[in-house]
Structure 1
Amino acid sequence: MMNKRFLLFCMVMISVMILVSGCWNYAELDRIAIVSGLAVDKNPKGDKFLLTAEIVDIQGSLTEEHVKARRIQAEGDTIFDAVRNMILISAKKLYWSHTKAIIVSQDVAKEGIRPVIDWVCRDIEPRADMGIFVSREKTAWELLEQQSITTDIRAFEMEYMLIANTDLSKSVRIDIIELIDTIAGKGTSSYLPAIGVTLNDGRMTANLSGIAVLKKDKFIEFLSEQDAKFFLFVRNKIRGGLLIISPDEEQPKDRITLEIFKSKTKIQPVYSNGKLLMKININTEVGIAEEDAPINYMIEKNKNKLKKETEEYLNKNIENIIKKVQENFDTDIFGFGRIVMEKMPSLWKNIDDEWDEVFKTLEVDINTEIDIRGSGLISKPIQVGD
C-alpha cells in the first residue's frame, strides 16, 4: 500500500514539473526587439520626450560578426508613451531585460531625471543595475551614433567603460537603487557618470568623461575627470587609478607615476564652539609605476620626500574640489549632511532645514597618509650612460 502511494506521489510530482517548467513570460526571439541602450532627449519643440532605442539586430547565427546595432526613434508625452510608440515603428515588442545603458540629455536632466527612473523602476523588464549617463554633447541620441571600438553595440561598450573605470577612478558607476536613495534622502545629493565624444583614429567615438553633478534629481554642472578623482577620494570610492607627482620643484618634468592599490576614507564630524568641522582621514597604498627622474625613491630619505609631496598634493586637490563644489554648485554631493545626521542626530535636527547654507561655509580638515609599497619589478631608476 505504501509503495503504491509513493509511486502515485512521484507521478504527480513529475507531471507538475513538466507542466510548470516553462518561463511564464517566455517570448519567441523573432517576435521581440532586444534593446541594448536608450537615449532620452526632448524633441525640437521641447514639448515631448524623444527616445532613441538601440536594437540588437541578430543576423543568422549568434556569433559576434552577425550581431549589429539598429536604432529607432519615437516621441511621447511621457517616457512610457514614447516607449510604446516605438512599437509602431519596430513592429515588435521591445524587450528591455538586456538594456545596459540609458543616456539622458542635459535638457532632460536639467528638468529632472525622476521620470526616467520612475519608468525603469515600475516596468518589470529593465534591470536596476543598468548604467545611467548624462550626455556632455547637445543631445543624448548622438552618443549611440558614434564609432564603436570593441563592439558594434554602443550601449554594451558603455557598460565596459564603467567596468574598466575601476582602474582609473575618473568617473563613477551609480546603480538605480543608490540613485533613488540619494534623491529621496536628506543631507546628500546625487551624481552620475558623464559621457561625451572624443577623436580616435580620425573618427569620433564615445568616451567616459567625468561626473555630472545633480541637486536632488536635477542636473547642475559637470566635474572634469581630474576633479572626479579627488571627489571619489572624499566619497571613499577609489578602487584604483594613478597619481602623477613632481617631487622636485626645480625639475617639474621629472614626474613620478604612482599606482593606487587601495584607499580608505573616514569622515568624522566635530562640533565645537558653535562651529561644525568635518575631519577627513584618508589612508592610501600606492606603488611606483613609472619614474622619469634619475633618483632612487626607494631609498628611505627620498621615499619620505615622495611620501610628503604626495600627501600635500592630495590634501591640496581634495580641499580645492570641496571648495569648488561649495562655492559653485550649492549641492552636497559629498554626503556630509548625511554623516552629520547619522553621527550627530540631535545637531542635525537643529540644522536640517538650513543645511544648504551650512554646507557652503562648512570647514574641513583633511589628513592623508600615503604608504609607498614598492616599485614594480625594478628597485632603481634606469640610468642613461655618458
Structure 2
Amino acid sequence: MKLKIILIFLLCMVLTGCFNYTGIDRLTMVAGFSIDNKKDTFILNFEIIDTIKSNPTEGIKTKVIECEGRTITEAITNCKKLLSSRLYFGNTQIVIINKDIAKKGIHDIVLLLLNEHEFRESLKVVVSDEKKAKDIIMADKTNNAILSYQINDIIYEDQSITLSTALIPVYKIFSQVISKDKAFVLPNFKLKKNNDDKKVASSNGLDLFKGNKLVGHINEQNSKAYLFVTDQVRGGDITIKLKEDKKVSLQVLKSSTRNEFELKNDKLKVKQKINMNILLRDYSMSDREKDEEEFEKVKKEIVKKMEKEITKYVYELLNTYKIDVFNFKENIYKTDQKLYKKIKNKKIDFFSDIEYDLKINCLFEDRGFLGG
C-alpha cells in the first residue's frame, strides 16, 4: 500500500505542471510596435523592455528594434534572428499603423491581433499622422519611461479630460472591420514639439474608417461633437464662445445620449437628446447672486450654442463622407426591427436622407464656489 502511495506521489511530481511554460529570462517583452510597409515588405519596429539596462536606480529602459518580412507574421519571426529570446506580446498596449496601410485596409492586421493568442484583445490600434508609423514609436518620452504606455495613458486621459480622442480596444472594431459599410474611428497621433523642444507623440483627433479602410479625419474640435453624438462622453472640459467674443469654460460631469427614429416622407428623422450635468467654472457664487437674470441668459446661450455647433457638425460630416458616420442604421437594427425593415425596403441612405434634430438638456451644478 505504501509503495502505491509513493508511486502516485512520484507520478504527480513528474506529470503535473505547465507544458508550455517559458521563463521570463527567455522572453522579450513588447510594449508596443509600429507597422510600415515598403513595396511588398512590412517593416515593424518594436519597443521592447531592455532587461539588461533596466535597474532600480535608473528605472525601466526600453529600446526599439526593426524587423522586416513579406507578412507581419514573418517580420515577427525574423526578429528571433536579432534576439536571444522570443518576443512576448502579453503586455503589448499599442499598435501604430501607417496611414497608407490604413487607407488600403486593416482587415488582416485586426484579425491577426485578435486571433494570435498572445495579443490581448484590449490593446489599442492608433494611426500615425506622420509619414511613417515608426516616427511615433521613436518619439521622445515625457512622463513615462515606456513610450507605448505613455500613448495609452494619453488616449485614456484625453477622452475623459479634453474630449479629443476615444479609447477603443481592438475587439470593439471587429464587426465593423469585417463589414463593408460600417463606420468607426481610431485615435490619430502626430509628433509635436513641447516646451523642452522635444518631439513627443501627441493626440491628434480621430481617423474615420468605413469597413476596414481609412476614409477621413476628424480634428480635435469636432471630435468633441462626435463623442457626444455617439454617447462616448463620460466627462471632460469644453470651452464655448458666446456673444461679444466672451468664452466660458465648462466641465462636463456626466453625459448620456438617447436616440429616437422616425420615417416620414421617405426621410429618416433622428431625434437626439443629450442630457448633461455641467459645472460652469467662470461664475462664482457671488457673481450668480448679483445678477441671477444674466446668469440664466448665459445658461440658455450655452445650450443653444452647443446645439447649433453639434448639429452643424453632424450634417457636415454626413455630407462630406457620404456614409453612416454615426451608425444610426445599426442603432435602429438593434432597437426597432419594424422600422429597420421599412428603411431597408425603401433603400434609405443614411447621409442625404436624414433630418437631424438635437435637444440638449443641461443641469448646471454648483460645487460650492467661494465668493469674492
TM-score normalised by structure 1 residue count: 0.86
* Counterpart code for 2:281: A
Alignment match, 1:341: 333
User: 1:360-379: CA deviations, max 9, x gaps?
Assistant: 3311100001111015532x
Distance in 2 (alpha carbons) for counterparts of 1:14 and 1:334: 62
- Which residue of the other structure, out of 220, 223, 226, is the alignment partner of 1:228? 223
> Pairwise CA RMSD of aligned residues?
2.8
Distance in 2 (alpha carbons) for counterparts of 1:18 and 1:208: 53
Alignment match, 1:328: 320
* Counterpart code for 2:188: A
* Counterpart code for 1:332: D
- Which residue of the other structure, out of 163, 176, 185, is the alignment partner of 1:191? 185
Distance in 2 (alpha carbons) for counterparts of 1:30 and 1:322: 53
Distance in 2 (alpha carbons) for counterparts of 1:307 and 1:14: 77
2:169 equivalent to 1:175: yes
Distance in 1 (alpha carbons) for counterparts of 2:343 and 2:56: 59
The Cα shift of 1:29 comes to: 2.5
For the 8 Å contact 2:267–2:353, the answer to whether it is kept is no
Aligned-partner SS, 2:164: coil
For the 8 Å contact 1:59–1:67, the answer to whether it is kept is no
The Cα shift of 1:302 comes to: 2.9
Structure 1 unaligned spans of 5+: none
- Which residue of the other structure, out of 126, 129, 145, is the alignment partner of 2:138? 145
Structure 2 unaligned spans of 5+: none
C-alpha spacing 1:280/1:268, structure 2 compared with 1 (3 Å): same
Range with greater deviation from structure 2 (119-128 or 29-38): 29-38
The Cα shift of 1:187 comes to: 7.0
2:37 equivalent to 1:49: no
2:214 equivalent to 1:210: no
Distance in 2 (alpha carbons) for counterparts of 1:349 and 1:186: 19
For the 8 Å contact 1:40–1:51, the answer to whether it is kept is yes
For the 8 Å contact 2:27–2:88, the answer to whether it is kept is yes
Range with greater deviation from structure 2 (209-218 or 296-305): 296-305
User: 1:230-262: CA deviations, max 9, x gaps?
Assistant: 100001110111222344x23x1x422111100
Alignment match, 1:284: 276
User: 1:256-277: CA deviations, max 9, x gaps?
Assistant: 2111100010011111233210
C-alpha spacing 1:130/1:17, structure 2 compared with 1 (3 Å): farther
Aligned residues: 368
The Cα shift of 1:14 comes to: 11
Distance in 2 (alpha carbons) for counterparts of 1:205 and 1:154: 9
Alignment match, 1:38: 33
Range with greater deviation from structure 2 (86-95 or 356-365): 356-365
* Counterpart code for 2:298: L
Distance in 2 (alpha carbons) for counterparts of 1:93 and 1:220: 36
* Counterpart code for 2:90: S
